[in-house]
Structure 1
Amino acid sequence: MEININISDEFLGTVAPLVVYWLYSGFYMLFGSQEKYRLHSKKDEDEKNLVSKSAVVKGVLLQQFIQAVVAIILFTVTGGDENAVSNVNNSLFGLGRQFFTAMVVLDTWQYFMHRLMHQNKFMYRHIHSLHHRLIVPYAFGALYNHPLEGLLLDTIGGALAFLLSGMSPRASIFFFSFATIKTVDDHCGLWLPGNLFHIFFRNNSAYHDVHHQLYGTKYNYSQPFFVFWDKILGTYMPYSLEKKESGGFEVRPLKAVKDN
């Protein structure tokens, strides 16, 4: 008896990024106990963070549930594959253009929303401060946010990237899985040798670690791909990455911090 299993692109576009998040986080958890790769010690991770790992898991699962609901609505409203822009977009050039457009849209939305959540005291105190309970970031804490922040910053930003780039649900499977991997990587708290993200992107785990420290909360807002908005608008903080004698690395700021 032949059994045909037909899984739609819309279903994969909804589920794949969620699965990828936990698989890639799990990969980094394997290295988390090895001090030689860490930006902060395991002791600092356990003592400085202001939220338990169980609460982080629950928070991430809630955000992913909301993300999945919005994705289902988005695919339904846009008509799925029937609304694909044109056959030319299935070419390698077309897909590359779509991915680059989506990256710029996502970065632009996240930079300005992220910066707003820091500069508006009400939004920071009641919404964004939850994410900064992770003073020492780790992989599966990447999407630990207030549910409203998850909706405004990540989910709506992703929806805009999907719509404005004109990508199909099939293309979105790969783009949002890639964006999820990049976000997890930026929060992993590790500096692994040969990491391609560190080679091709200035926005990486060390860059974002600066933002999670007290001296850097008003800098390095950009995420998850580029750093151009920080550089254009004066919120870029350069840093050095130095090996510690006790093992691991230390991220040090290379500019004086202004209290503004």
Structure 2
Amino acid sequence: MEVKISDEFLGTVAPLVVYWIYSGFYVLFGSSEKYRLHSKKEEDDKNLVSKKTVVKGVLLQQAIQAVVAIILFTVTGSDESPTTNGSLSVFDLGRQFFTAMVVLDTWQYFMHRYMHQNKFLYRHIHSQHHRLIVPYAYGALYNHPLEGLLLDTIGGALAFLLSGMSPRASIFFFSFATIKTVDDHCGLWLPGNLFHVFFQNNSAYHDVHHQLYGTKYNYSQPFFNVWDKILGTHMPYTLEKRENGGFEVRPVKVVKDD
């Protein structure tokens, strides 16, 4: 008996599975100091939350994400859609993906920035994510459930709806977005990493934001850093090798808190 797996099911489950598989890949590289942006000791000493708590928090967010995806596909999905039958051109798919990237980046930049500027929201919601002063791969989606819903889940839903992509296309887009988010938080600088070639918004760029001197800068995620540059929240940095191995991200100039 042939078992048919729907695009809606894969669109819901694939990004969740990809998250843990890709994170596991970076955990292996993180066991060595060679590629780390912070030493293992810094990770253990500076972070304010246990890895067990991080895993629980991520699983909770992924459960919420799955429920919203199921509702979204139920309301909008259709087996008769032209995209399901694969009739869209590569150009159309590229346009949908680019539109979704712009929508997701725009939503996350302004929501993320507001959560830093609003003291109540930062103290009670967004500060949970910043307990990871030294980010690592599977902590990428560790945050307050409300923040996960507002930034990631609703942002993803808007990107899906406004781009007009099909459930099948969403499998690939949200798996890619998940990989990019994990990469931004991996705390590593790997040679030959294509994300560092094609995106200025990368693991070093986002590491700046997780440090005390950079919490009001480099808000952009997950793809481009355009909004930071347009609105004056871009903090340039240099990447230098540490004597004991690995790399260190240093701001070009340290700015004072407002």
TM-score, normalized by length of structure 2? 0.97
Measure how far apart 1:259 and its partner are. 1.8
- Please name the residue that 1:44 is paired with: 42
- SS across alignment from 1:47: helix
- SS across alignment from 1:193: coil
Residue type at the aligned position of 2:28: L
Change (3 A) 1:72 1:185: same
- Please name the residue that 1:4 is paired with: 2
RMSD: 1.3
Contact 2:100 2:160 in 1 (8 A): yes
- Please name the residue that 1:170 is paired with: 168
Q: Does 1:189 align with 2:187?
A: yes
Once the two structures are superposed, residues 141-169 of structure 1 have per-residue CA deviations (whole angstroms, 9 ceiling, x without a partner) of 00001000000000000000000000000
How many corresponding residue pairs?
258
Identity value in percent? 86
- Please name the residue that 1:240 is paired with: 238
Contact 1:81 1:169 in 2 (8 A): no
Once the two structures are superposed, residues 106-158 of structure 1 have per-residue CA deviations (whole angstroms, 9 ceiling, x without a partner) of 00000000000000000000000000000000000000010000000000000
Counterparts of 1:171 and 1:129, CA distance in 2: 34
Counterpart mapping for 1:58-207 below 5 A: 58-83=56-81, 90-207=88-205
Change (3 A) 1:226 1:233: same
- SS across alignment from 1:250: strand
Counterparts of 2:107 and 2:152, CA distance in 1: 9
Q: Please, which runs of 5 or more residues in structure 2 have no aligned partner? A: none
4+ aligned runs moved over 4 Å, structure 1: 83-89
Counterparts of 1:193 and 1:204, CA distance in 2: 13
Contact 1:242 1:250 in 2 (8 A): yes
Q: Please, which runs of 5 or more residues in structure 1 have no aligned partner? A: none
Measure how far apart 1:84 and its partner are. 5.1
Contact 2:82 2:88 in 1 (8 A): no
Measure how far apart 1:256 and its partner are. 3.3
Counterparts of 2:162 and 2:151, CA distance in 1: 16
Residue type at the aligned position of 1:9: D
Counterparts of 2:158 and 2:192, CA distance in 1: 32
